Amino acid sequence: MKFFRSVGEVFGYSPFRSLAQHARMCCWAVGLLEQQFEALRKGKYDEVEKLRDEIDDLEHHADQIKEEIRGRVTKSLMLPVDRHDLLEFLKVQDEIINNCEHVGHMVTFRKVQAPEDVWDEFSVLLSKLMEILNYYEDMVENITQLIETSFSKKAVNKALEHVPIIEQLEHECDLIQIGLHTRLFNLENAKPLDIHLMVTWVVHLGYVANAAARASDRFRIMILGR
């Protein structure tokens, strides 16, 4: 349509739906990781590789969303939150899915042998991560409600009560990691390379939890920093 004048342009690009979508993808990636460790334990290596590719695709898609937000949140937009806070939050949130991708690849490097109780511990660690990400996703989903109520006290409190829970869960995750490290370094009859690789997994799974905790902190800074 050619002949028209419009003031619709005054309504700028809103990044908030995309931010929530990016958070959902982070959560989804951790779910895939959990499945991947299950497959690994059962020795279903084809499935492990298939899941790695799925996580890869997801990460790639999340990257596109991140790029879109970064490209469109320009200085001429007036947002209800600080632009730098928003971009910093996105950056840390993106580390969640980046680290998921790293772990997704690392588990395919080598077919490791480990006793059942080690796999159990990994299961515990992964379900704790899943719990963190479920809370995390819930928290970020609040953003639409926050905007609708234009950051009413009630909505802000409801969103931010997730933050201490996530921090607590991250601490619990640390404890599981410590236990797992101790167990791995004391494995008898295990190949040193297997131990080394499994330790690397634990470290990077820790990064996932850590990124989620830091992102929730950045989320709080963004919400309170208006």
Partner 1 sequence: MDLFIITAAIVGFYVAWNIGANDAANSMATSYGSRALTLKQIIIIAAVLEFAGATLFGKKVTHTIAKGIVPIELLDHNLVVYGALAALLSAGIWITISTYYHLPISTTHSIVGAMLGFGLAAVSQNHLTIEQIKWDVLVKIALSWVVSPLFGATLAFIVFSLIRFILLDRYSSESVEHVFRYLQVLTACYMAFAHGSNDVANATGPVAAILGYSGTVPFWVLFFGGIGIATGIATWGYRVIETVGKQITELTFTRGFSAEFATATTVFLASYLGMPVSTTHTLVGSVIGVGLAGGLASVNLRIVQKIIFSWIVTIPVAAAMTISIYTIMVVFI
- Planar angle of CA 175, 35, 91, nearest 5 degrees: 65
Tokens of 132: 């963190």
157 near partner 1, judged by CB under 8 A: no
CA–CA dist 24, 19 (Å, integer) = 9
Closest to partner 1 by CB, 97 vs 143, is 143
7 near partner 1, judged by CB under 8 A: yes
Q: What backbone torsions phi and psi does residue 36 show, to the nearest 5 degrees?
A: -65, -40
Question: Cβ distance 66 to 94 under 8 Å?
Answer: yes
Closest to partner 1 by CB, 7 vs 186, is 7
Please report, as a single letter, which amino acid is at residue 30: V
CA–CA dist 153, 33 (Å, integer) = 36
Smallest distance, Å, CB 223 to partner 1? Answer: 12
CA–CA dist 101, 97 (Å, integer) = 6
Closest to partner 1 by CB, 191 vs 226, is 226
Distances (CA, A) of 27 to 1, 131, 141, 157: 41, 9, 12, 22
Closest to partner 1 by CB, 3 vs 116, is 3
Using CB under 8 A, which residues numbered 131 to 150 contact partner 1?
145, 147-150
CA–CA dist 196, 215 (Å, integer) = 29
Smallest distance, Å, CB 153 to partner 1? Answer: 6
20 near partner 1, judged by CB under 8 A: no
Smallest distance, Å, CB 96 to partner 1? Answer: 23
Half-sphere exposure for 117 (CA within 13 Å, toward CB): 8
Smallest distance, Å, CB 72 to partner 1? Answer: 9
Q: Which of 43, 46, 71, 76 binds partner 1 (CB under 8 A)?
A: 76
Smallest distance, Å, CB 90 to partner 1? Answer: 15
Q: Which of 42, 57, 64, 77 binds partner 1 (CB under 8 A)?
A: 77
1 near partner 1, judged by CB under 8 A: yes
71 near partner 1, judged by CB under 8 A: no
**Candidates 70-78, 129-137, 163-171, 189-197 — which segment interacts with partner 1 by CB under 8 A?**
70-78
Please report, as a single letter, which amino acid is at residue 7: V
Closest to partner 1 by CB, 76 vs 186, is 76
Smallest distance, Å, CB 23 to partner 1? Answer: 16
Please report, as a single letter, which amino acid is at residue 152: S
User: The tokens 């995390």 sit on which residue?
Assistant: 136
| Contact footprint for partner 1 (CB under 8 A) | 1-16, 76-80, 145, 147-155, 226
